Amino acid sequence: MLTGRRALAWVRFTRRRLLAGLGDVPLQPEATPIDEFVGRVWAYAKFGGVLMCCQSYLLDITMCVGPSMMPTFNTVGDIVLCDKLSPRLRRLKHGDVVVCKSPTNVGQTVCKRIVGMPGDELDGFHRDYAWHEQSAVPAGHIWLEGDNRRNSMDSRNYGPVPLALVQSRVLVKLWPLHEAGAVPARKETPATLRYSDSVREPFSTPRVAGASPLAADAVARGAHGGAGGAGGDALRALPRSRAAGDA
């Protein structure tokens, strides 16, 4: 026995059949407001599920903040579209811009450019930075640097980055609109040739991480047979230079 809203819906359906003629109207009762609401919620749920799958495994939208990637990205927060499939398939190459977890703080994400791939030789040393081991980029790691190398904390500070920390590859800049477009993979020179002869020195030279270039030059001259007094002055000046840098 039909009661309530179902009975009313059946009456409306029967009336339509009688007025319009059998076969001219669909043989289904009219949808009630509750049915329409449930259908709309189900459609939104399906759309949200597809969107979450795309964001988790295919594409993502990220905001880049900070000066380390200037002039490619601005400091005020450019919005970019990222490909999350390439890191999973190991389809990364030199020059790609990637978003990854920071090796020093996994709760923070960074945006850098790939300069070295697994197997690339690193036989140069930049005197302003702590990383100075003479070796190749290990398997399963990459070497990352910011485009604005004068104001970027990257692999020169913390060494090669595990590929497992890479989350996505930047494809397109979406905002600001007047700069929207594909982010090109800028070609980089090999890591062995990245630094000029003026900043590459023998690995036997004593160095102190964080020292100013002037103090590092003085230490190098003292280590290679320069005046003993000059080398001693430089070593005594290093703590003051480091304190100024930390401040």
Q: What are the catalytic residues?
A: 68, 112
DSSP per-residue letters across 178-237: GG-EE--------GGGSS-TTT---TTS---TT--HHHHHHHHHHHTT--HHHHHHHHHH
Q: Which helix (H) or strand (E) holds 29?
A: none
- Under DSSP, the state recorded for 30 is P
Q: How many residues does the chain have?
A: 247
CB-based contacts of 121, cutoff 8 Å, min separation 6: 135, 136, 190, 191, 192
Q: How far apart are CA 77 and CA 65, in angstroms?
A: 4
In Å, how far are 31, 40, 42 from 36, measured between CA atoms? 6, 6, 10
Radius of gyration of the chain from its Cα atoms, rounded to whole angstroms: 31
Q: Which helix (H) or strand (E) holds 170?
A: strand 166-175
